[in-house]
């Protein structure tokens, strides 16, 4: 996953956490399986996401010109 790779590259999660998260996601067959990730891993992802502003990005309204669908 690109996001967890970025978290590792920014030193927001450890190499061990990255490997554990990546392995958990790889063996998950559904979003529910991913949500069953151990709490310690979720906490690491949440802390890193907060530093990266992931939630803010997801909550920001799309730009009117995003994807060439702007007003002409």
Can you give the pLDDT at residue 33?
95
Tens digit of each residue's pLDDT (9 = 90 or more) over 9-43 = 999 999 999 999 999 999 999 999 999 999 999 99
Contact 44, 37 (CB under 8 A): no
In whole angstroms, what is the distance from residue 61 CA to residue 29 CA?
Answer: 30
Domain ranges in the chain are: 2-55
Q: Which residues of 3-14 are buried (b: 16+ CB within 10 A; e: fewer)?
A: ebeebbeeebbe
In whole angstroms, what is the distance from residue 15 CA to residue 23 CA?
Answer: 12
Please give the structure tokens belonging to residue 4: 């967890």
């Amino acid at each position: 996953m690109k996001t967890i790779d970025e978290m590792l590259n920014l030193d927001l999660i450890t190499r061990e956490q990255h490997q554990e998260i990546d392995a958990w996601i790889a063996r998950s067959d559904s979003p529910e399986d991913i949500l069953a990730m151990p709490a310690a891993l979720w906490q690491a992802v949440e802390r890193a996401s907060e530093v990266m502003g992931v939630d803010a990005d997801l909550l920001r309204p799309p730009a009117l010109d995003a994807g060439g669908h702007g007003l002409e």
